[in-house]
Amino acid sequence: MAASAKDSPDLSAPPAPAGPGTGRTRVSAKGEQTRARLIAAARTLLAGGMSERFTTRNVAALSGVSHGMCHYHFQDRTDLVLAVVADMRPEWILPLEEAVAAPGSFAERAERVVELLSRPEGTELSHLHSALHWHALNDSRVRASLEAEYRRWRGCFTALFDVLAEERGGGVDARLLGEAVAAAVDGLAAVESLGAEVDPGPVLRTLLRTLAAGT
């Protein structure tokens, strides 16, 4: 049955204009998806211990993206490494910042931190950290970026002892104590990476209580 005149489209009328930014939004969303695929592929190569194969060409091939498109998003492989550094932040820095910033006394926040740091680090994340340290030794841009990330991570422990200083009304060197705990956490992670059976929870809990009591 033929459609009625009311239901038939008016082919002589000009097409309705797209909403503002509609085309740009679609292009932007597709670009973000492509960028995310490239970063995921970069993570896979780095975590797989294949630093010698870590090239923009190999990252593009693994992600199913053309080499030219890879260079559209990332100028060189260092840019890819820096993107991975930023991509990892929600997995190890942001949770720590949230644990410290959430309401509570020093003891309550310290316990949240201990519980968080007692969770086993994923294999991929551990391998990524190792790979990034290797790249930092050979690339000043990666080194500067990684130093900034670790500075932010260590700042979480300083912020934790800032809470203790506020509770005590001063007399607490929050930066020094925070750096000491950060160094201990880093050391425990290194020991665990070698397969040593060390339970970090009791160690960190004892360290935090001892430092807090000694101030």
pTM: 0.82
Q: Supply the pLDDT for residue 195.
A: 72
Q: Which domains are assigned to the chain? A: 22-75 (1.10.10), 77-213 (1.10.357.10)
Q: Is the pLDDT of residue 14 over 50?
A: no
With bands split at pLDDT 50, 70 and 90, how would you rate the model's confidence at 13?
Answer: very low
- 106-155 tens-digit pLDDT: 999 999 999 999 988 888 998 999 999 999 999 999 999 999 999 999 99
Q: Supply the pLDDT for residue 18.
A: 45
The percentage of the chain sitting over the pLDDT mark of 70, rounded to a whole number, equals 86
- 167-201 tens-digit pLDDT: 999 899 999 999 999 999 999 988 877 777 788 99
What's the token pair of residue 165?
Answer: 């200083």
With bands split at pLDDT 50, 70 and 90, how would you rate the model's confidence at 7?
Answer: very low
